[in-house]
Amino acid sequence: MANKGMQLLGFTLSLLGLIGLIIGTIMPQWKMSAYVGDNIITAIAMYSGLWMSCAFQSTGQIQCKVYDSILQLDSALQATRALMIVSIILTVMGLGVACMGMKCTNCAGDDKTKRARIAMTGGIIILIGALSSIVACGWFTNQIVKDFYNPFTPVNTKYEFGSAIFITWAGAFLDIMGGIMLAASCPKGKPAPRYPKSSGPPSSSKEYV
């Protein structure tokens, strides 16, 4: 079974990964205006996130606008938003389940095998949540690349990767590492006891000629 230190490290990494996922989901810097062509010098930097779009002016003023209608959003943005919410929920659930089965807690009683299985289940749930965030980031990143290299996209509306994507990638990586460590709590099967071969009861009677 995994030792207590590995479980604690896995839980800590998963918790840090959850914080990264939440911060990345909230931040508006999923994509930022690309300074290409005639758009090299500008007084306004445009950022777009999952929930709002913001304009940063050279004077330091920030203006943000929350998306009014979900139906007006493109499919990639809607899918990314849904997958990130699912990822955060699954990670929270996985941390709760793993906490009940860790060796440093007594929520599941003294049965070590049962607690190890609970911790392993929590690690698997965290891995599924991390996979959801990876799919979300990959989908959104692919859409940015496609729009950037699309010749019909105006130069002043081209975007590149924002800092929120990298924070989300980092959070997903931490969740993967933590989930693997917690999933390593899978209990091993107990070996069958080995008994010495019996040579049979000694004969109590003796044969006489």
> Does residue 38 carry a pLDDT above 70?
no
Given a contact cutoff of 8 angstroms between Cβ atoms, the answer to whether 155 and 39 are in contact is yes
Between 84 and 111, the higher pLDDT residue? 84
Given a contact cutoff of 8 angstroms between Cβ atoms, the answer to whether 149 and 160 are in contact is no
pLDDT at residue 202 in the model = 54
* Total domains present in the chain: 1
Between 101 and 93, the higher pLDDT residue? 93
Q: Is 57 within a domain?
A: no
Strands (E), the chain: 31-33, 44-48, 52-57, 62-66, 159-161
Find the helix or strand (DSSP H, E) in which 86 lies: helix 75-101
Between 148 and 88, the higher pLDDT residue? 88
For position 128, which CATH number holds? 1.20.140.150
Q: Is 120 within a domain?
A: yes
| Mean pLDDT along residues 36-53 | 71
Given a contact cutoff of 8 angstroms between Cβ atoms, the answer to whether 163 and 125 are in contact is no
**Residue 174: closest CA among 12, 30, 25:** 12
Q: Is 46 within a domain?
A: no
DSSP class of residue 73 equals S
Q: Is 190 within a domain?
A: no
Q: Is 203 within a domain?
A: no
* pLDDT tens-digit readout, 154-188: 776 788 888 999 999 999 999 999 999 988 866 55
109: region left, alpha or beta (phi > 0 left; psi from -120 to 50 alpha): left
Q: Is 63 within a domain?
A: no
Q: Is 45 within a domain?
A: no
- In which residue are the tokens 């060796």 written? 103
Q: Is 123 within a domain?
A: yes
The amino acid sitting at 59 is: T
Domain carrying residue 124: 4-27+71-183
| Mean pLDDT along residues 26-38 | 78
3 state DSSP class of 134? helix
> Does residue 189 carry a pLDDT above 80?
no
